[in-house]
Amino acid sequence: MRTQVAIIGAGPAGLLLGQLLARSGIDNIIVEQRSPDYVLGRIRAGILESVTVDALERAGVAARLHDEGLPHDGIELSFNGERHRIDLHALTGRRVTVYGQTEVTRDLMAARQAEGTTTIYEASDVSLHGFDGTRPLVRYRKDGATHEIECDYIAGCDGFHGVSRQSVPVASTRLFERVYPFGWLGILSDTPPVADELIYAGHERGFALCSMRSKARSRYYVQVPSTERAEDWSDARFWDELRSRLDPQAAQSLVTGPSIEKSIAPLRSFVCEPLRFGRLFLAGDAAHIVPPTGAKGLNLAASDVLYLADALAARYQQDDPRELDGYSEKCLRRIWKAERFSWWMTSLLHRFPDADAFSSRIQQAELDFLVSSEAARKALAENYVGLPY
């Protein structure tokens, strides 16, 4: 087989890239190691920046998002038993949209199928070759046979554990990492959300987040030590813990019900520099991870992919390679700002097991400053709604 761009991974990054390239008339094939159902079964965050919505519009996959997504003009911070609203729209003129990543993925899959573009699911032993020269090659196994795709470029959109980044010689990369000593235990339930907007709660028992997927489906999280196992958390234990971390009004109005999903996600900050190795380009979680506190994971994947799609279009349509040359640097500037914000919001609201009395007071002072200073709230809001491309 031969294509212009071989894309590794059919998560939101790979699927969005495929869609944007197809719209620019650039031929592409996606190679994914899992099945479509497995990909759709992963529950992830659900907040889209307005620039991400713009990118999905450009890809022609925003119809259902506009029908079913919930525009949110603010978020709430909760600490010391009180809630404080951050009016995102008044502070920035922009808003975010609540729409699950699973739904974004579903819309992208449907659009790809409608276009008839090739996606190879359940490909095993995927390997990347020749990207340091002029004739890259992707090899994989499927149905007992080995297959090869010759291409001009490879896009590594295969997530944190993918093969793309691991195919690059260690000496050519610089890795930056911070692993946090806790995770988020999350549940999904068909119960009405506790409030109209998201509540980010800092509490001495640990962080909690009240989010949603729709007016009838809630997504809640509590911070737990990294050693915790989801199996040890009954629904009743989860609801009690969540309630104990909320302000009295939210605790009282919380509607509980059976969980339809329950899992623990570790928290990590990670960046791989650079994002380009010859004819291989990394995008999304393959290149960077943020802790979920700022809801930046999917949004960052979308901005990488938009830059890459534009750079490939310039290369194919005007024979201009300059944007591809600048891809890594351009992405990294936005990535590091989102890394900073996600790290900051995580530090602001979580309990750190090794925190001493001094750091606890600093955390309190920072929260106090935030609710008393419009400048501080504006800085949060500007980052939360998403920095411009």
> Could you tell me which residues come within 8 angstroms of residue 74 by beta carbon, excluding any fewer than 6 positions away?
85, 86, 87, 88, 89, 197
Strands 119-120 and 28-31: parallel
Candidates 50-58, 155-163, 204-212, 268-276: pick the segment binding ligand APR (CB under 6 A): 155-163
Q: CA of 137: how far to CAs of 20, 269, 313, in Å?
A: 22, 31, 21
Residue selected from 8, 149, 222, 313 as contacting ligand APR according to rule CB under 6 A: 8
My answer on whether omega of the bond before 274 falls inside 30° of 0, hence cis, is yes
Site string for ligand APR, 12-41 (x = CB under 6 A): xxx----------------xxxx----x--
Report the number of secondary-structure helices (H) and strands (E) in the chain: 13, 20
CB of residue 301 vs ligand APR: minimum separation in angstroms?
Answer: 4
CB of residue 297 vs ligand APR: minimum separation in angstroms?
Answer: 2
Query: Cα separation of 77 and 74, whole Å?
Result: 10
Of 12 and 91, nearer to ligand APR (C-beta) is: 12
Of 13 and 222, nearer to ligand APR (C-beta) is: 13
| Order of strands, sheet of 119-120, starting from the edge strand that comes earlier in the sequence | 119-120, 28-31, 5-8, 153-156, 280-282, 276-277
Of 100 and 156, nearer to ligand PHB (C-beta) is: 100
CB of residue 328 vs ligand APR: minimum separation in angstroms?
Answer: 16
Per CB under 6 A, 367 contacts ligand APR: no
Per CB under 6 A, 159 contacts ligand APR: yes
For residues 80 and 30, is the Cβ–Cβ distance under 8 A?
no
User: 99, 140, 153, 200: which one is catalytic?
Assistant: 200
Residue selected from 136, 159, 292, 386 as contacting ligand PHB according to rule CB under 6 A: 292
Query: Cα separation of 115 and 198, whole Å?
Result: 36
User: Is position 292 annotated as part of the catalytic site?
Assistant: yes
CB of residue 18 vs ligand APR: minimum separation in angstroms?
Answer: 11
Per CB under 6 A, 45 contacts ligand PHB: yes
CB of residue 320 vs ligand APR: minimum separation in angstroms?
Answer: 26
Per CB under 6 A, 298 contacts ligand APR: yes
User: Is position 296 annotated as part of the catalytic site?
Assistant: yes
Of 267 and 331, nearer to ligand PHB (C-beta) is: 267
User: 180, 292, 330, 350: which one is catalytic?
Assistant: 292
165-200 burial by CB neighbour count: b if 16+ within 10 A, else e? Answer: bebbeeeeeeeeeeebebbbbbbbbebbbbbebbbb
User: 153, 180, 316, 384: which one is catalytic?
Assistant: 384
For residues 131 and 154, is the Cβ–Cβ distance under 8 A?
yes
Of 13 and 56, nearer to ligand APR (C-beta) is: 13
| CA 164 from centroid of its chain's CA atoms | 18
Residue 11 touches which of ligand PHB, ligand APR, none (Cβ within 5-8 Å per kind): ligand APR
Residue 168 touches which of ligand PHB, ligand APR, none (Cβ within 5-8 Å per kind): none
| Order of strands, sheet of 145-150, starting from the edge strand that comes earlier in the sequence | 124-129, 137-142, 145-150
Let me know if 388 is exposed, middle or buried by CB neighbors in 10 A (0-12, 13-18, 19+): exposed
CB of residue 303 vs ligand APR: minimum separation in angstroms?
Answer: 11
Of 34 and 94, nearer to ligand APR (C-beta) is: 34
Query: Cα separation of 136 and 149, whole Å?
Result: 9
> Is residue 220 within a helix (H) or strand (E), and if so which, with residue range?
strand 218-225
Of 12 and 254, nearer to ligand APR (C-beta) is: 12
Residue 211 touches which of ligand PHB, ligand APR, none (Cβ within 5-8 Å per kind): ligand PHB
Query: Cα separation of 45 and 56, whole Å?
Result: 16
Supply the residues annotated as catalytic: 72, 200, 292, 296, 384
Q: Which spans of this chain sit near ligand APR (rule: CB under 6 A)?
A: 8-14, 31-34, 39, 44-45, 101, 126, 157-159, 161-163, 284-286, 297-298, 301
